[in-house]
Amino acid sequence: MADTAGRQMGLPLYAVLKGKTMNIMSLLNALPGAVAQGLIWGIMAIGVYITFRILDFADLTVDGSLCTGGAVCIMMMLKGQNVWVSMVAALLAGMAAGCVTGLLHTFMGIPAILSGILTQLGLYSINLKIMGKANQAINVDKYDLLVSLRFIRNVPLFKNTILLVSLIIIVLIIILYWFFGTELGCSIRATGCNDKMARAQGINTDFNRVLGLMISNGLVALSGALLSQYQGFADINMGRGAIVIGLAAVIIGEAIFGKIFRNFGLRLLSVAFGSIIYYLVLQVVIWLGIDTDLLKLLSAAVVAIFLAIPTWKARYFSMGSKGGKA
């Protein structure tokens, strides 16, 4: 095939093979960046996991709160604030957004999906006001960023983006594992598992929903703060499609590691792994030359297929196994 292609293009075989080798090298060179981006989005995916799997709440706020975290972090750093202070402020801003969604749902009785959409819609204007325009750039040479595209290779170990984000994820998983093992954390899990039974046990389910949404969107905003530093700017559309990426990471992680990782902490880790796998696949897709305009369609198809797998297993494969046993 390579020889035929080379002859058709008027190129010798060694030139074609050299070109293929260089293409593979370009893919390998791009993989560390894909891993770093997957880890950053993995924090967002953990937040999606909390609402989607623990609270059983379809929260669409994340598309807006991701941008809110990035906008708050970048603007505070541009005003001279420390990177850690800026990231904490981004976390609190995300928690405030989650609180609004929770109150719309519990206090005002608005359905879960609509409450998330309303908050997301309002955040668009708020994010524009925070940044003053559609995007704000930050220069890695002028500001002390925690993560950056430049910190992937040829940097001291303590500045390596992949290592730093990995440590942040480990710390977050430890904190979440401890919190959801407490009485309050267990009550949040009970609320998502069986709302009526939780209320019968005297649990304030409305409070738990609001708190769960605050934790979730706080993590999403923290991911946005890291992402804006990594890419060097905050943009009003940076959160568009974030819910699809988060769901893809959750579903891929569960499909691949679900039978291996039974522990709650390891399940959170599997979500981060799912995010990394998602971005590695996207990188391979881009390397293969597939139209990048189709990436969102590919993501939607991947999520739909993985969501359908449990239903297909129960409907078709279990019936086949029962018939075989009979």
- Alpha-carbon distances of 104 from 96, 119, 238, rounded to whole Å: 12, 9, 24
Task: Say what percent of the chain tops pLDDT 70.
Answer: 90
Kindly state whether residue 206 falls inside one of the protein's structural domains.
yes
Kindly state whether residue 303 falls inside one of the protein's structural domains.
no
pLDDT tens-digit series, residues 262-313: 889 999 999 999 999 988 888 888 888 777 788 778 778 877 887 787 788 7
Coil, strand or helix: which one is 137? strand
Kindly state whether residue 205 falls inside one of the protein's structural domains.
yes
Kindly state whether residue 185 falls inside one of the protein's structural domains.
yes
**Phi, psi of 173, rounded to the nearest 5 degrees:** -65, -40
- What pLDDT is recorded for position 254? 86
What's the total number of domains in the chain? Answer: 1
Q: Record the tokens describing residue 137, joined without a space.
A: 């750039």
Question: What angle (nearest 5°) sits at the alpha carbon of residue 54, between those of residues 254 and 120?
Answer: 100
pLDDT tens-digit series, residues 247-263: 889 988 888 888 888 88
d(CA 252, CA 268): 12
Kindly state whether residue 123 falls inside one of the protein's structural domains.
yes
Kindly state whether residue 276 falls inside one of the protein's structural domains.
no
Between the two ends of the chain, the Cα-to-Cα distance in Å is 50
Task: Say what percent of the chain tops pLDDT 90.
Answer: 57
Residues in the chain, how many?
326
Residue span of the structural domain in which 85 resides? 35-240
Kindly state whether residue 120 falls inside one of the protein's structural domains.
yes
Kindly state whether residue 49 falls inside one of the protein's structural domains.
yes
Rounded to two decimals, what is the model's pTM? 0.87
